Each structure stands twice: as structure tokens, then as C-alpha cells.
Amino acid sequence: MILSQPDLKLAWKKKLIRFSPDITEDQIGLSSIDLRLGYIVTHLKKSNSVIKPAAKGFDPTLLVQNVDLRGKNPRGKPIPFRLSPGRLMLAFTLERIEVPDSLAANVQGKSSLARAGAAVHITAPHIHPGFRGNITLEMYNHGPWQLEFVPAQDLVCQVIFYQITRKVAKEMIEKHGTFVDQRTPFPPRKVPVAHRKKF
């Protein structure tokens, strides 16, 4: 069951769904909540090596470059985020989100951006119950134009919340929460507790 606007507003006002910095009521749509582009973006460096991102404990630290777009340019304006045609970059949402154990969520792009060629996520929209952190956006420009977005201002994605059939136990959330409290858009892959070797 997807939460509609009245239930989203109620969950937000009761702090069942939390955001930091907090959202405003006009970010709540008919059945989703719009989120803004954050300041942290990640470039993927070119490499001649074969990359195995599905490997347990995969650490991309040396393969990426994180950039903080806080501050102003020489003209005193915000530093923009630019996405060239055919380019993949990762970015955080401005808002850190906390999903309760009774809900799951899904991050989707916005139609207005898709019409300009911007994909906000590639194949990873699902957000598990108990997730805490900024949402990573896998942004790709399918169109012919160079696209520009302003961090902390432009609404770039929407989050849809689902009521799940039964609450998930906190120990299960901690056991399987691979990207909970992530600090960068492409952090080292945390090995789930269930897969850790015992000595």
C-alpha cells in the first residue's frame, strides 16, 4: 500500500518519517515527497583494471573522487552541479532520511528532469525499512544537453513510501543494512553480519 498525501503529512508531522534538514509541507505531493540535490557528488575515475563491485567488502575509495559543492563561485553564486551527455555521476540528496521499521520506500526521478534526459537512479530505487542516511542518486544524462542543477535548491527526485506487511526487527535491520549511515555516495561495501567470518 502506497502512502498518499494525507498519510504522508501525518507520518511527517508525527516524526514517523524524519528528514534532516527538514522538508517543507510543499515538498509533499499526492503520493510522494520531493527531495533536493545535496552538496556531495562523486566522480567515477577511469580505470584499466577490471572492477568487481559485487564482491564482498568491495572498496571503491581509490576509484572515485568526492567533491563538496558547498560555497560560492567568484560571482557569489552557488556552485552548480553539471552533468554532461553520456556521463554517470553519483550524488547525495540534501535531506538525510530516516525510514521507520514499518515502512519501505522507493526513490524515483521526476518527469520534468526525465524529459531533459536526466535519469536520477539507474536500477536501485528500493530503500529498506530502518534506513538512515542521505539517499544516493545514480545520475545519468541520456540527452544531448549539458544539464545544470543547484545544490540545496533544485528538487531532483521523489520518494514513495510503502506500508509493509509486518515490522522488521531492529537486529535484522542492523544485520542487513549495507548502506545505513553512509557518509559518501559510494562508500566501501559493508559486509553483512551474516556473512562475516567467525574466528
CA distance 199 to 184: 30
CA distance 6 to 46: 46
Say which residue the cell 567467525 belongs to: 198
In this predicted model, what pLDDT tens digit does every residue of 22-41 receive, in sequence order? 999 999 999 999 999 999 99
Q: Is the pLDDT of residue 175 over 70?
A: no
Q: How confident is the model at residue 57 (pLDDT cuts 50, 70, 90)?
A: confident
- String of b and e for 20-38 (b: at least 16 CB within 10 Å)? eeebeeebbeeebbbbbbb
- pLDDT score, position 94: 97
Residues belonging to the chain: 199
Positive or negative CA dihedral for 151, 157, 161, 167? Answer: negative
- Could you give all domains of the chain from N- to C-terminal order, each with its CATH number? 5-46+58-186 (2.70.40.10)
Tell me the catalytic residues.
138
- Please name which of 190, 186, 163, 195 lies closest in space to residue 178, comparing C-alpha atoms: 190
Position with higher pLDDT, 56 vs 23: 23
Q: The whole model's pTM is what? A: 0.85
